[in-house]
Structures are given as C-alpha cells and as structure tokens.
Chains A and B, each alone.
Chain A
Amino acid sequence: MSDFELLLREETPQVLSALVRHYGHFDLAEEAVQEALLAAAQQWPTEGVPDNPRGWLIRVGSRRLTDLLRSESARRRREENAANLAAPEEFVASAPDVDDPGGRDDTLTLLFLCCHPAVSAASQIALTLRAVGGLTTAQIAAAFLVPEATMAQRISRAKRSIKQAGSTFEMPPEAERDARMGAVLHVLYLIFNEGYTASSGTSLHSAELTTEAIRLVRGVRRLLPDDGEVAGLLALMLLTDARRPARTDPDGGLVPLAEQDRSKWNKDAIVEGEALVTDALSRTQLGPYQVQAAIAAVHGTAERAEDTDWPQIVALYQVLEQLSDNPMVTLNHAVAVAMATGPKEGLALLEPLESDQRITEHHRLEAVRAHLLEMSGDLDGARASYLQAARRTTSIPERNYLQSKADRLS
C-alpha cells in the first residue's frame, strides 16, 4: 500500500462522518465519498497531495453528494407531482466547514452502523471495508473472489437494509452498546480471518485484509483505550499474524504450528501482542478475545514447540469454555489436554461433541480425532479419520494437508 493510499484510507471515516453529520443520507454520502476517493487516487499521484487532504476530500465529496441529493429530490418530486402532491423544498444546505469538521472522531458510530444487526455478516464485512476502511468495491470483490457487480449489489443492499431498519447516524442506546460492540469486533475478526487463512500465492489480495483489520482495530483502540476486548482482539490479531510467514511452505501447503520455523515469526508483533494482552488481563473485564490472545501468547513465547506450556494452555481453555459455548473451543481444549496429559484424556473430551449438532459433520472434529488417535498409537484409526476429515473439508490446502497425513500412515 502506498503512503497516499494509506492516507486516503485513514481519512475515509473522517470524511464520511463529516458529510453524514452535515447532510444526513448515509447511503448517498457513502457513495459520494467513494467517488471522492477515486478522484483523489487519480489526481494526487500526478498533481501531488493537497495541503489539506481531508478538506479536499470533503469538498469533492460534498459536491458529488449535492448532485446525488439533487437528482434524488428531483426524482421524488416527479413521483410526487404525478400523485398531485406539493413538492417540498427539502434540500437547502451549505457545505460543511472543511477546515474544522468538528474535531470529533465518529469512526465508532460508523462502525456500529456498518455492523448493523439488520445486515448479513457478509454484507457487514463488505460495507465496513468500504465505508470505514476506504477500500474500493473492486478491491473488496477481488479479496472475496466475486465479480465486482456482485459486491456492489451487496453493499447497496446493506445500505438499503440499514435505511429500512430506521437506523440513524448516532451511537446505539446504552442498553444495546455491548451487543453492538460485540458485532463490530466480530466483523473485524472475520475480516482478519479472511486474510489470514488465505494461502499465499493464490490470493494475494486477501492477505492484505489482515493488515487492514489490524489497522481498523488499532483505530478503535485509540478511541476506546480501556476496553479489554478491543485490546484482546488487537493482541490476538498481532500474535496470530506474527506466524503468517511460517504457516505455509513455498508451495502454499499448510505447516502445522508444531512444525513451523519459529525464527520466521514476527518477534515485534509477538512482543506487542503479549504486552497488550498482559495489560488488558490485569486491569479490564475478562472476555473471550483476551483469553484467546493469552493462548496465542503462550504459543508465541515458546522458543521451541516442545517448550510450550501446555498446562497453562489447558487452564486458559477451561476459562474460555466458561466464557463461550463453542464446540470449536472444546476441540482445541481436547488437543491441549492431550498434549498436557495424554491422548486418552483428550479423546474423552471429544465424546460429548459426537452428539453436538453444530460440529458432528465438521471436518475439524474428525481431524482432531485423527491427530489424537495417531498420538495414542492407533494408526489405522488415525488414517481413517484423516481421510474422513480430508473428504469433509471445503478448503483445498486443508484437504491436501489431511490427505498427506493419511498417506504417511499407510
């Protein structure tokens, strides 16, 4: 990402907030900001970055929004005239003050709006990346491997749903704040995951999403420095992303945690992530992102795989199970118990999952079982489970990995 591209992305939520505060009409303002960003991307590289980039963007965005509002109100007037109604003179406004857009940062309000519960997760992600992240529709479409027209529709649809839900540009009421904040953090987490799980080489565009997610969470943290879960999520992302250089081999194949070349891990990210989570755990309310980050920190600070403090990880998974009812947590807990105590104890933890509808058909249950059976010496059983898991996954790199594990046992 070039410097000025980063500048544009940083300015996006500020410019959009300024327009929405002044004119309302989140949906059209968002459209106008996109056009201002595209204009800047075309003009700035040749004409140079203006002295007041935010002012420039607000001015260009306002002009575009004014046009959009005019044609919108002309359209409405035509419809109303047809119904013999008087045409209200509804649109009179001066441009927002470009030099002093209020000194407020409304990024959070924007995030709450983009991650509105009336919108599907896929659309929340797309709208967040465009309205808050400043990515273009083409970039988002490339990252999610869909045609640009499909992504454009998804974004318009999301804005329509928000409008229909009657949501306005203000912070959600106090009573809803926690749940809505949870939705915002989840969307940022999903954006990160989308990028992190992309195998290198095949989708370069998606890998950039991890950087973008980290940038967005850093922005939220600046506004909410005392929120433990925001810190926890940032720490989790940093500690996970630190492993990215080691998680795939040159052919894009997956390298399991235990076999990764730890000298390739990003030490700075690990140090920052560990410090963040340690601080959050010591002074804020405990939450699932902090615990997951703490687990990632235990892995991240082990010099070698065999130095991993498994009893500590088991204890953390026990805490995490108390905080969230999620069969994936139980799966990881089982692996940790197998490492700390033995495979038999780990396999015993899988038993209740056999009847858990949420996971019975999931390839991860079979993959963990395979791993634990292999540890216990039941190689035939392990092979059968690896093959079953390979057939169940919808991920090509995971299928290749599981298949190769099965091959090695035959």
Chain B
Amino acid sequence: MKYMLLIYSNAESWAGLSAEQREGLARSHEELAKELTEQGMLVSSAGLADPITTRTVSVRDDARTTTDGPYAEAKEHLAGFYLVECDNIDQAIDYAARMPDAKYLAVEVRPVMDSSGLEM
C-alpha cells in the first residue's frame, strides 16, 4: 500500500525554531529519506516552498482567476510530503512519528487510492 505523509507547519512553529533545531530538522529528513530509499520504500518526497509563493487557480464559467496565497485560509500549511510504500498504515504512522515536524505541529498519514479492485 502506498501512503502519503503530509507534513504540516505554520509560520510561528517554523519561526520559533532555533538554528540548531532547523539543522536538526534537515538532518532528520535526510536520514529518514536515506533509510526509506535503502529499504526500497520511498516513491517520492519533497519539501514545498513557503505559502507566500503559492498561487491558487480557479475556473468558473471558463473564466480563470489566479489569486496569491493558499486556497484554505488556515494558519497551517502543507510544508512537504513523502510518498512511501508500507505494509500497513501502522508502519506509515511509525515513520510519520519519527519526523520532528510531528513534534512541532503534525504529520498526516493518508492512504493513496489505486486502480485495483475486486468485484463484489
């Protein structure tokens, strides 16, 4: 099963980190990505640029509007993701729990849908 680990952050939680903590965060992700790669479990992962750089696109009656900033007005934003292959959701949760981001704010674990199906 593939799971998406969604890392949430907010401006304050990030600003509140010391230089040491930020370094620790980067190191933890480096180690985690290396381990997941070696296990053959990592499908993809990336960090996302600050929400200040986001554009939100919507099309209504064929007219396109583009606004600056994220779609949802929330204090929290998506800061990065891992797409991993795990045996089950508990294994995915264990990896999420190892991210320092889980300590600072939260990491969401979501199963990825696939196109396989069994007739009923």
Contacts and interface: CB of A to CB of B under 8 A. Distances in A.
Nearest to A253: B117
B120 A145 contact: no
A190 to B, nearest CB: 12
B38 A199 contact: no
B85 A367 contact: no
Contacts of B116: 194, 197-199, 203, 206, 395, 397
Contact of B87 (A122, A126, A152): A122
A359 to B, nearest CB: 14
B64 to A, nearest CB: 28
Given A146-B85, A153-B37, A197-B118, A394 B113 contact: yes
A398 interface: yes
B20 to A, nearest CB: 32
B40 A394 contact: no
Contacts of B48: none
Given A122-B85, A122-B87, A150 B42 contact: yes
A260 B119 CA distance: 10
B97 interface: no
Interface in A363-401: 367, 371, 393-399, 401
A152 B111 CA distance: 23
For chain A, which range describes its interface: under 10, 10 to 19, 20 to 34, or 35 or more residues? Answer: 35 or more
A153 B40 contact: yes
The interface residues of chain A, by DSSP majority, are classed as helix
A158 to B, nearest CB: 8
Contacts of A401: 117, 119-120
A364 to B, nearest CB: 8
For chain B, which range describes its interface: under 10, 10 to 19, 20 to 34, or 35 or more residues? Answer: 20 to 34
Nearest to A371: B120
A198 B116 CA distance: 4
A203 B115 contact: yes
The interface residues of chain B, by DSSP majority, are classed as loop
Interface string A178-200: 00000000000000001001110
Given A199-B115, A394-B113, A395-B113, A154 B40 contact: yes
B43 interface: yes
Contacts of B113: 394-396, 399
A256 B118 CA distance: 9
A257 B40 contact: no
B114 interface: yes
A127 B120 CA distance: 31
Contacts of A146: 43, 85
A151 B40 contact: yes
Nearest to B120: A256
A397 B115 CA distance: 6
Interface in A141-194: 144-147, 150-158, 194
B112 interface: yes
Most buried by A among B37, B38, B111, B117: B117
A123 interface: yes
**Pairs A-B, 3 closest by C-beta atoms:** A154-B40, A397-B117, A153-B40
Interface of B: 1-2, 37-44, 85, 87, 111-120
Given A152-B40, A367-B120, 13 more contacts: A120-B87, A153-B39, A197-B117, A203-B116, A254-B118, A254-B119, A260-B119, A394-B114, A395-B116, A395-B118, A396-B117, A397-B117, A399-B113
